Structure 1
Amino acid sequence: MNRLDDSGTYPIREFARITGVNPVTLRAWERRYGIIQPERTEKGHRFYTEEHIQHVRHILYWLDQGYPIRQVKLLLKDGPESAENNSDDWLEQQQQVIRAAQRLNTQHLDELWNAGFSSYPLAVYYERCLLPVLNFLRSSSTPPIVIHALEHLLKRKFGAMLLQQQRHNKGPVLLLVTNHEHAEIDALACACALGAAEFRVEYFGPNSTPADLQLTLAMIPAANVWVHFHPLNPAQQQQWQEYFEQCRLPHFISGAVPVTDTSDATLIALPDQLSKQVRTFITGIAEQNAVTPNPHTGGFH
């Protein structure tokens, strides 16, 4: 762990890894919203303490309740009785994205997304804004070209973000896979949320099978695997169950998981919400590191 010293203080990138909140958002919370104030070294570099970790958890709690970031400062001070209706802000953000998508206004979409990604942890913004927009457009009479364009633009955006993250994120590799193209946007959002929290994520596209994953693990020195599932047919479910019975590398599983018994210590079932999935993963990695380092020895023995 890259602490500044042994007194429980952390530089911004390590703090991002611990909390799941990326450095850009931490700076926005400090400068724009005034809800967190890091300490400074003599040279002016930010650092954070254990108290800051608890403070961020309080912020994330209110965001999980659906409150917009602009209300969090007052919520931290006075509680929910001081806040306005917590759904109006998210509804307005969703409507802005819908209007831009319906006009195929790619520049405005990118501006909206950049603003959202800087103000919120990526998982929160995806859950509260982007996923509801996708679900609304898919279930409405929206022309298919609009839906396809939005999905394409989101995949392109997430792909570019992930590539940028991979250039500077160090440490053990998390291999993230999904079994179906219909789950790819969720998987990419997950990859970017973890990448924003300074984890080194590798993702090689959708439609992965157990055989594909075994081959990939023979080539990639992954310390952990995350599999996000779209619903499986019975034959596919059997293949994945057999795969999990053999694997020894830690596997985190989300979505329509094909197993009911997750008592094996190498198989960690994650909650439904992406933001909670990310925090559960971070906690699980911290527990792994507290027990023993996890050098890559391959997914199977």
Structure 2
Amino acid sequence: MNRLDDVHAYPIREFARLTNVNPVTLRAWERRYGIIRPERTEKGHRFYTEQHIQQVRNILYWLDQGYPIRQVKSLLKDDAPRGMQEEDDEWTERRARLLNAATQLSMHQLDKLWSDGFSSYPVAVYFDFCLLPVIRSLRADSSHPAIVKGFEYALKQKLSSLLHMQQLACSGDSVLCCCTHPLAELSTLAAACALGGAEYQVDYFGPELSSEDAGYLSESGRWQALWLQFHPLVEDTTEQRWTEQLSSSELALYCSDLSDSCNSQSKQIRAMKGSLSQQIRQFIQCQKQGDMQ
């Protein structure tokens, strides 16, 4: 492990891998919110300690409870929850601004709002508490299908761009992401970016990849794990075909939103449950356990 001198100190990239929080967000938490203040070398480079790791775990705990980042600083001091005032609910404000920009077809404003969200929060947290509720709200309003299509297309472009930028510097294990239906692509891209934020090397080849294609790729030896995003619209036979096609692979297979009716006996297949943030943690924990075996 690349530690500084003889103490348990980690440079920002290694700290990102340990905590699953990307360097951009770590810098934003330091500069904008005054939390997670790293130590500095004589040359001014950031480094983090074991104490910082526990601080990040505490921050992620409160974020997963739905508290916005600007409230977390006081929660860390008190170590006790406070009722979220509706007028001070940052998530409500963020969702409202996104919906307003979407209905006005302001792609430039959407891009600014997304950039701020992705820098302030881990991708999975931002997706769970902001993006996914907005997507569901827009889809529920069937009177404006063009707005939904425009919003989702622009968001796919944003996530793809974010994934590309992440991969320029990632050096962790390689993960292949696939989805079983085009309507699962947004969730797949969000998962890919969440994994990229945790310093995994992630590849995604679009929503048209078939189970046969994925099976062929899984045999290449290029990746250590495969993240497979299912969608409720696929039939049980489709789920069965995908899992059977991939269960013989040497890759560890992680299935998100796999139905309870599709039970595979393969030890290689792990069903991921809960929110995206919870699924990402399950993935990382399973990967770490696999490394230790």
TM-score by length of 1: 0.90
Aligned length: 291
Name the amino acid aligned to 2:189.
L
SS in 2 for 1:205: coil
Alpha carbons 2:247, 2:253 under 8 Å: kept: no
Counterpart of 2:152? Answer: 151
Does residue 1:59 correspond to 2:53, yes or no?
A: no
Post-superposition offset of 1:54: 1.2
Farther-moved stretch of structure 1 (97-106 vs 78-87): 78-87
Post-superposition offset of 1:166: 1.8
Post-superposition offset of 1:288: 2.0
Q: Say if 1:4 and 1:142 are closer, same or farther in 2 by CA, change over 3 A.
A: farther
Counterpart of 2:134? Answer: 133
Name the amino acid aligned to 2:135.
L
SS in 2 for 1:286: helix
Post-superposition offset of 1:290: 2.2
Q: Where do 1:1-301 residues align within 5 Å? A: 1-5=1-5, 7-80=7-80, 82=82, 84-85=84-85, 88-219=89-220, 221-231=222-232, 232-257=234-259, 260-261=262-263, 264-291=266-293
**Cα distance in structure 1, aligned partners of 2:242 and 2:107:** 39
TM-superposition CA deviations, 1:95-136 (whole Å, max 9, x none) = 100000000101111111111111111111111111100000
Which 5+ residue runs of structure 2 have no aligned equivalent?
Answer: none
TM-superposition CA deviations, 1:9-57 (whole Å, max 9, x none) = 2111111111111101101111111111112222221111222111101
Post-superposition offset of 1:259: 6.2
Farther-moved stretch of structure 1 (221-230 vs 71-80): 71-80
**Cα distance in structure 2, aligned partners of 1:5 and 1:285:** 28
CA RMSD of aligned residues (A): 2.0
Post-superposition offset of 1:236: 1.4
Alpha carbons 1:175, 1:203 under 8 Å: kept: yes
Percent identity (aligned): 48
Alpha carbons 1:18, 1:282 under 8 Å: kept: no
Name the amino acid aligned to 1:272.
G
TM-superposition CA deviations, 1:231-271 (whole Å, max 9, x none) = 33133133134224423321111123476546644222222
SS in 2 for 1:201: strand
Q: Say if 1:264 and 1:42 are closer, same or farther in 2 by CA, change over 3 A.
A: farther
Alpha carbons 2:167, 2:196 under 8 Å: kept: yes
SS in 2 for 1:251: strand
Name the amino acid aligned to 1:222.
W
Alpha carbons 1:28, 1:119 under 8 Å: kept: yes
Post-superposition offset of 1:170: 2.1
Q: Say if 1:75 and 1:285 are closer, same or farther in 2 by CA, change over 3 A.
A: same
Name the amino acid aligned to 1:281.
F
Farther-moved stretch of structure 1 (137-146 vs 253-262): 253-262
Give the 4+ runs in structure 1 shifted more than 6 A. Answer: none
Name the amino acid aligned to 2:275.
Q
Q: Say if 1:237 and 1:122 are closer, same or farther in 2 by CA, change over 3 A.
A: closer
Post-superposition offset of 1:67: 0.6
SS in 1 for 2:7: coil
Farther-moved stretch of structure 1 (220-229 vs 235-244): 235-244
SS in 1 for 2:239: helix
TM-superposition CA deviations, 1:140-166 (whole Å, max 9, x none) = 244111000000000000111111122
Q: Say if 1:238 and 1:262 are closer, same or farther in 2 by CA, change over 3 A.
A: closer
**Cα distance in structure 1, aligned partners of 2:107 and 2:277:** 26
SS in 2 for 1:222: coil
Post-superposition offset of 1:5: 5.0
Name the amino acid aligned to 2:270.
I
